[in-house]
């Protein structure tokens, strides 16, 4: 076995709740990959250090994942896990690093300055993705969608709305309502949470079916259309 360590610079084991520790471990596991050959070991004192053991034959492959992920290389799940780790550290007011078995830093996570907190706005909007969770016992029911890039879209609904949505589990849907949106450093917006007030089941249609439907409504007059891609998208739902 060889070791890798996720070091959290401004946190100690005493300041990490069990739930928060679990979140760090889960995202770290997804980022490292080779999940059958990576084993959680311990949390060291001082700055919180999350230690993992990696089977020798898979160590170099895991190192490659760690070095490549900041450059946008790797599976979507690993890219998402890397961003989620940085987001956890942003929320916890810390930075960190991945250390190899010689305690050398091979990947750094920056600490966000206090005056660099993201802009968050309340705005009505819509998101779409694959509905994979409708659950909970409270009057406000958690709802989760998987977005196009594998990200989790956090939503909530009333019990009545949740009952309707439960019939669409594992289907592609679009949901709309008031939400909290966070401005990203690179531009664009990320959903924090959306309260579902309406929804629409999305039809999954092949491109061939789209072409046939366009022909049925008058032919493929692409040159006469201002936005032919938009027309195709509308027909696909």
pLDDT tens-place string over residues 160-174: 999 999 999 999 999
Q: What is the pLDDT of residues 88-115, one digit of tens each?
A: 998 888 999 999 988 899 999 988 776 5
Same domain, yes or no: 21 and 46: yes
The string over 36-68, giving b where at least 16 C-beta atoms fall within 10 Å of a residue's C-beta and e elsewhere, is ebbeeeebeeeebbbbbbbeeebbeebbebbee
The CATH number of whichever domain residue 154 belongs to comes to 2.40.50.140
Output the pLDDT for position 151: 86
Sign, Cα dihedral of 101, 103, 107, 112: positive
Output the pLDDT for position 216: 62
- Residue 134, in any domain of the structure: yes
In the numeric block, the tokens 């890798």 are attached to 4
In 3D, which of 15, 17, 22, 23 has the Cα closest to residue 45? Answer: 15
CA distances in angstroms from 109 to 7, 86, 195, 200, listed in the order given: 10, 6, 32, 39
Task: Collapse the DSSP code of 74 into the 3-class scheme (helix H, G, I; strand E, B; otherwise coil) and give the result.
Answer: coil
User: Which residue range forms the structural domain that includes residue 126?
Assistant: 120-201
Last residue of a domain, one of 59, 87, 109: 109
- Residue 114, in any domain of the structure: no
Q: Is residue 80 within 8 Å of 30, Cβ to Cβ?
A: yes
- Residue 115, in any domain of the structure: no
Residue 6 has pLDDT above 90, yes or no: yes
Last residue of a domain, one of 74, 109, 144: 109
Last residue of a domain, one of 75, 109, 143: 109
Same domain, yes or no: 158 and 196: yes
- Round to whole Å and give the CA distance between 40 and 220: 57
Same domain, yes or no: 87 and 181: no
Q: What is the pLDDT of residues 178-190, one digit of tens each?
A: 999 988 766 788 8
Same domain, yes or no: 191 and 94: no
Based on the structure, what is the number of domains in the chain?
3
- Residue 34, in any domain of the structure: yes
Q: Tell me the backbone φ, ψ of residue 205, rounded to 5 degrees.
A: -125, 140
Output the pLDDT for position 219: 54
Same domain, yes or no: 17 and 84: yes
Output the pLDDT for position 203: 80
The CATH number of whichever domain residue 56 belongs to comes to 3.30.70
Model-wide pTM > 0.75:
no
């Amino acid at each position: 076995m060889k070791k890798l360590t996720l070091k959290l610079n401004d946190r100690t084991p005493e300041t990490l709740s069990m739930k928060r520790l679990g979140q760090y471990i889960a995202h770290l596991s997804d980022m490292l990959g080779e999940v059958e050959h990576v084993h959680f070991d311990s949390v060291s004192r001082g700055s919180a250090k999350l230690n993992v053991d990696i089977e020798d034959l898979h160590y170099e492959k895991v190192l490659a994942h760690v070095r490549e992920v900041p450059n946008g290389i790797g599976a979507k799940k690993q890219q998402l896990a890397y961003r989620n780790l940085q987001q956890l550290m942003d929320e916890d007011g810390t930075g960190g690093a991945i250390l190899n078995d010689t305690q050398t830093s091979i990947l750094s996570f920056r600490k966000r300055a206090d005056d660099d907190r993201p802009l968050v706005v309340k705005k009505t909007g819509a998101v779409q993705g694959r509905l994979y969770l409708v659950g909970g016992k409270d009057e406000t029911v958690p709802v989760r969608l998987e977005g196009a890039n594998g990200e989790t879209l956090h939503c909530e609904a009333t019990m009545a709305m949740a009952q309707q949505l439960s019939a669409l589990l594992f289907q592609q849907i679009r949901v709309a309502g008031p939400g909290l949106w966070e401005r990203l450093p690179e531009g664009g917006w990320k959903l924090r949470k959306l309260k579902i007030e309406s929804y629409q089941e999305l039809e999954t249609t092949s491109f061939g079916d789209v072409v046939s439907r366009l022909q049925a409504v008058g032919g493929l007059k692409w040159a006469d259309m201002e936005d032919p891609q938009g027309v195709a998208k509308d027909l696909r739902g």
